[in-house]
Amino acid sequence: MNPSHFILRIARLNLAGKVIGTVVGLAAGVFGAFFGLLIGALVDEAVRFARDRTSLVRLIEHQPAPGEDDPLPLDVALVVLAAAAHTPPSDQDGNASVVARIAEICSLTPRRTSELTHIARDAGSLAVHTTSAALAERLRPRLGNDQRVAVVDLLLSTGAEPARVRTVAERFVISDGDYRAARSRWRRLDPQACAVLGVDAQSSLEDIKRIYRTLASQFHPDALTGLDDEQKRQAEEAYLRVQNAYRTLLAAFE
């Protein structure tokens, strides 16, 4: 067999680094061979990771034609979606709870769950090759309604961008009732905005609107009569803070 063909066959088995490292290390004796084997194993692992990542990027970028089976593994698509729904895309860093939820949704084996944990660590960089909306469009025909609701619930539980989760829910054709129920379970009100309006994290939308109207009327420019310039400036700044805080809290209920 041609030596170059032999080396290529070994490389495809992900053994090239180990074999070459061991052979080179033999020149320094048994310990050299062992050291060469160790270095070769690390090189093989790096090569395997680079090869697998390139393959995943190609699958993510590939848009299947109508009627064509989607080659992107469902569990990989979900872990990338979880990263893409954040701004900027976030690495899951092997987030155990995210992977566990996806494993439950996809009925993964323990071995596949372990593999997905490694993939999740690179999810942020994989997510730059797509969008949450595009992934949701691809995933919709592959998931049942209960699974789609579970995915939206998962995204909300990770603190994903609300507007992006809303888009995912729309692409998933999830009912407004199911979406709002999940949104309510995982709603997080900005603590600084709550402090400005004097509300707490459990306040309802109606309470927030009522308190906002009261504060806005107090600091509105039309109400700033009989004040000197410094007092007007302070009141105008307070009015802007109230406006910004209200918009921030209102976004949490969209």
Mean pLDDT, the chain, rounded, equals: 82
Its pTM stands at 0.69
pLDDT digits (tens, 9 = 90+) for 160-181: 888 899 999 999 999 999 998 9
Long-range contact list for 15-22, CB < 8 A, 24+ apart?
15/44, 16/40, 16/43, 16/44, 16/47, 17/41, 17/42, 17/43, 17/44, 17/47, 18/44
Residue 39, pLDDT score: 62
Residue 98, pLDDT score: 93
pLDDT digits (tens, 9 = 90+) for 54-87: 888 999 998 888 888 999 999 999 999 999 999 8
Question: Which structure tokens are listed for 11?
Answer: 């490389």
Report whether pLDDT(8) > 60.
no
Question: Which positions ≥6 away from 244 have C-beta within 8 Å?
Answer: 193, 196
- What are the structural domains of the chain? 3-61 (no CATH), 74-185 (no CATH), 191-251 (1.10.287.110)
Angle at 195 between CA 193 and CA 200, to 5 degrees: 95
Report whether pLDDT(41) > 90.
no
pLDDT digits (tens, 9 = 90+) for 85-110: 998 887 766 688 999 999 999 999 99
pLDDT digits (tens, 9 = 90+) for 184-239: 888 888 999 999 999 988 888 899 999 999 988 887 777 667 677 787 788 888 88
- Cα diameter, the chain: 98
- Whether residue 221 has a cis bond before it, omega within 30° of 0: no
